[in-house]
Structure 1
Amino acid sequence: MIVNEPVPDTFEDTPAKDRHPDWFKRAVFYEVLVRSFQDSNGDGVGDLKGLTAKLDYLQWLGVDCLWLPPFFKSPLRDGGYDVSDYTAVLPEFGDLADFVEFVDAAHQRGMRVIIDFV
């Protein structure tokens, strides 16, 4: 899979009632640290594939929006907030295609995704 641009949050298939500009006022947010949430490959580090695998559980909890702290390529001198490349994912978390798969899967469940950008 080749990814050349960010994943838009258009929700074109979402009913108009769910596209209200004040959606966030009633939403259930869940901040999830990718590193510690779910490890999909047994290396002891959570990753995007692990997070994707748990979306049904998060939906069952009633989560409307997932809030992800930085997971981009970084020298990790500031907890990942010292991003060195906004177009690349930290290798231990996966790759950009894994992120696109995660966002698509979240959107299929009617969940939004927001990211801490610094």
Structure 2
Amino acid sequence: AHAKLEEEKRRKEEAKRKSDEKKAAVDARKAEEARKKEEAKRIADEATAAALARKKEEERVKAAAKACIEEDKRLEEERRLAELDQRKKERAEREAEKKRLEEERLASEQTKKAEIARAAE
């Protein structure tokens, strides 16, 4: 009877040990699944953050390119206007020179006429 009790006790302890081992294995598996899930979430979050960073960088580059294009247009317009101003200035200088020469010619003619008139007197 004593041996029977010992055997029953040993069987119960073995069953409890196996049950505890199963629970530990289930807990370990659940913990590993949770760890994998967390790792997958972390990787997904990093990928999302990287995609957002890329998108922001692309937008920054587009904005910089647009600003460069606008600056080029502005500079081209300034250059064009400066050329127009220069041509106007050169034209005005030529006109002023023509006028000055015409005035000199007229003054010279008047001087000659005056000299001729004095000589005639």
Same fold (TM over 0.5): no
More helix by percentage = 2
The structure whose Rg is larger is 2
Instruction: State the TM-score, normalized to the length of structure 1.
Output: 0.15
Instruction: State the TM-score, normalized to the length of structure 2.
Output: 0.14
More strand by percentage = 1
